Amino acid sequence: MHWAAPRLALEDSLANPYGPGPQQPGWPQQPGQQYQHQQPGYPPPAAGHRFANDKGFFGALFDFSFDNFIAPKLVKFLYILLLILVTVGGLVYLVIGFTMLASGTDAGVLGGLLVIVLTPVIWLLSLMMYRVMLELMIVVFKISEDIKDIRDSRTLR
């Protein structure tokens, strides 16, 4: 019978820095052989760790070390503001389009119809563009938070 020493946790972490992989099926237990326990994996991250030191809007505004970001707190407000501005702009263009349509000239009718048809399309495309830009900004901040969490978890080991 060949007996191998169990691997140490340090050897596992050096072999795979992302923690232990899925359990592999082993050989069946031999009669009379003592059961060898597996090393436990790393515990899951603590819930709420990411926002544990969240300072709020004014705390982040006056954080001169830039550990807390203000932009993620402003995104909802910015999106509502952009929605209002784009909608008001769209309504202004619709009024202009109907005014051109009511002018009765050939160029006015054609231009008015064009403005009336294109305004909702441009409104929708503008909102989509602003939404994607704000989502990309949030993704950058979430990546930054995740990298900070990874860095903090590595310093705890």
Tens digits of residue pLDDT in 15-65? 555 555 555 555 555 666 665 656 655 555 554 445 445 677 777 777 777
Q: Give the residue among 88, 69, 80, 39 at the shortest CA–CA distance from 137.
A: 69
Please check whether residue 38 lies inside any domain of the structure.
Answer: no
Please check whether residue 94 lies inside any domain of the structure.
Answer: yes
Domain of 117, in residue numbers: 72-152
Please check whether residue 136 lies inside any domain of the structure.
Answer: yes
Please check whether residue 22 lies inside any domain of the structure.
Answer: no
Residue 92 has pLDDT above 90, yes or no: yes
pTM, full prediction: 0.57
Please tell me the predicted confidence (pLDDT) of residue 77. Answer: 93
Residue 87 has pLDDT above 90, yes or no: yes
Please tell me the predicted confidence (pLDDT) of residue 52. Answer: 45
Please check whether residue 104 lies inside any domain of the structure.
Answer: yes
> For the chain, how many structural domains are there in total?
1
Neighbours of 97 (CB within 10 A): 20
pLDDT band at 67 (very low <50, low <70, confident <90, very high): confident
The answer to whether the CB of 97 falls within 8 A of the CB of 119 is yes
Please check whether residue 97 lies inside any domain of the structure.
Answer: yes
Please tell me the predicted confidence (pLDDT) of residue 56. Answer: 75
Q: pLDDT tens for residues 110-143?
A: 999 999 999 999 999 999 999 999 999 999 989 9
Quote helix, strand, coil % in the chain, to nearest 5: 60, 0, 40
